Amino acid sequence: MSSPTSKPFRERAEELFRKLQDEITSTLEALDGSGKRFFQDSWERPGGGGGRSRILTEGDVFEKAGVNFSAVHGEAPQSLHGGNQELTFFATGISLVLHPHSPKIPTVHANFRYFEQSNGLSWFGGGMDLTPSYLVEDDARHFHSTLKSVCDKHDSTHYPRFKQWCDEYFYIKHRNETRGVGGIFFDNVSGDTEAEREANFEFVEEIGRAFLPAYVPIVERHKGESFTEEERRWQLLRRGRYVEFNLVYDRGTRFGLETNGRIESILMSLPTLARWEYDMHPAPGSPEAKLEEVLKNPKEWAA
């Protein structure tokens, strides 16, 4: 955990997210086991700043894994201030989405970000969530319990608030279901004092580093399991729902488009393959129906 320094939060946040990208990509390369490395695409944003997009495709475990870092600045879009004043912004963060080959291994998403405007407003946001094709309750409990233990160290209200926020945010309204089994989500976490802002920074730093212990054991548990073509078909159908959420509702996608972001990085979250079928319903009592029931009625996974 970092200690307070004289550096501005924007510099400290940028350093943190760069390091997180390095730590996560190196761990995922070892976990994949194929010997493949993340391809890095460094880019600059017209108007200010840039980032590093890292992509691994067709590994032994991961069909597509993207871990992006960015630090951008410029004129704030009107959607953030109503067009009533001229503002500049700075935003830095890390965003990742991992789509495994196997339907037995859940897709996972995480992002952490820091944002500030020239009028003095600043805040942190982020979270992570798990999207399985097949429900394994022990996986969901492990993922949520890992996040809850970090949240509880900082504020006992964090986990219940952020867990509910995640369930409500990652909700596909036109399908009447959540995207997955959730996790935590938070936004506009700010502070009026230096001590409050420091506490927020420490929470984001620790919850960001909780991603690997929350997810890696789940991959290790299932990466040797076999699967059928029917299970693969179901995975591709569930990925279709993932695409629907990201293109219709995701705020990060909208923000990237509104701020003239880099389209390859914005759409990095989409899977290589997905599927849609007309009026598809799983058989009653099937493992697929078990997952669908939880998506329509979110559960409490951590005591």
Structure tokens that stand for 229 in this block: 């073509």
DSSP β-bridge partners for residue 93: 70, 113
Spot the catalytic one: 109, 142, 144, 222.
109
**CA separation for the pair 202, 180 (Å, rounded):** 27
Helix (H) or strand (E) holding 97: strand 88-100
CA distances from 64 to 44, 108, 271, 275 (A): 23, 11, 7, 16
Strands 171-172 and 177-178, by their bridges, are antiparallel
142 burial class (0-12, 13-18, 19+ CB within 10 angstroms)? buried
CA distances from 135 to 57, 79, 168, 207, 253 (A): 25, 38, 19, 24, 27
CA distances from 158 to 148, 149, 207 (A): 8, 10, 11
Q: Using alpha carbons, select from 27, 105, 21 the residue that is nearest to residue 63.
A: 105
Is 73 one of the catalytic residues? Answer: no
Structure tokens that stand for 31 in this block: 């976990």
**CA separation for the pair 3, 200 (Å, rounded):** 12
Radius of gyration of the chain (CA): 19
Q: Which residues of 14-42 are buried (b: 16+ CB within 10 A; e: fewer)?
A: bebbbbbbeebbeebbebbeeeeebeeee
Catalytic residue ranges = 109
